[in-house]
Amino acid sequence: MVLFIPSVARDGATAIDQPRWVNGALERFGRVFGGATAYPKAQGIWRDDERGGALVKDEPVVVHCYTTPADIENSRNLAELGAFCRRMGRDAGQGEVGLVVGNEYFGIRDFAEE
């Protein structure tokens, strides 16, 4: 699993509390899935189609988590992962939270609490 932790809000200019989200992801993934590793800031860009295709430049931290099929398919674990991603998207002012599970990309855009 791979989670991208952004450095800026959707506007591309407002810095977010990236260490808060990196530490939160590491702690959660450690507890729920057994461990994770965060790689230093990368360079990235995201096209915000809802804002006329505006390009948002970013320096995301990439969090990798290797887990078992049983752990990633567990509904309780998935609910906790989804809640974290939605909370980060909401609180960090994102347009999308990027999550890769296996070889499939999930662009989470609905940040409503469930």
CATH for 13: 3.30.70
Print pLDDT tens along the chain (114 aa): 999 999 999 999 999 999 999 999 999 999 999 999 999 989 999 999 999 999 999 999 999 999 999 999 999 999 999 999 999 999 999 999 999 999 999 999 999 987
Query: What's the domain range around 93?
Result: 2-108
pLDDT of residue 44: 95
| Rounded Cα gap, residues 93 and 30, in angstroms | 25
Q: Is residue 91 part of a domain?
A: yes
Q: Is residue 84 part of a domain?
A: yes
Q: Is residue 114 part of a domain?
A: no
Q: Is residue 28 part of a domain?
A: yes
Q: Tell me the whole-structure pTM to 2 decimals.
A: 0.92
What does 6-27 look like in DSSP terms, one character per residue? -SB-TTSSSB--HHHHHHHHHH
| Rounded Cα gap, residues 17 and 35, in angstroms | 22
- Torsion of the alpha carbons at 113, 22, 78 and 58, rounded to the nearest 10: 70
| Rounded Cα gap, residues 61 and 58, in angstroms | 10
DSSP 66: -
pLDDT of residue 113: 82
Q: Packing angle between helix 75-91 and helix 18-33, nearest 10 degrees? A: 180
Domain count across the chain:
1
The tokens describing 11, both together, are: 């506007």
Q: Is residue 113 part of a domain?
A: no
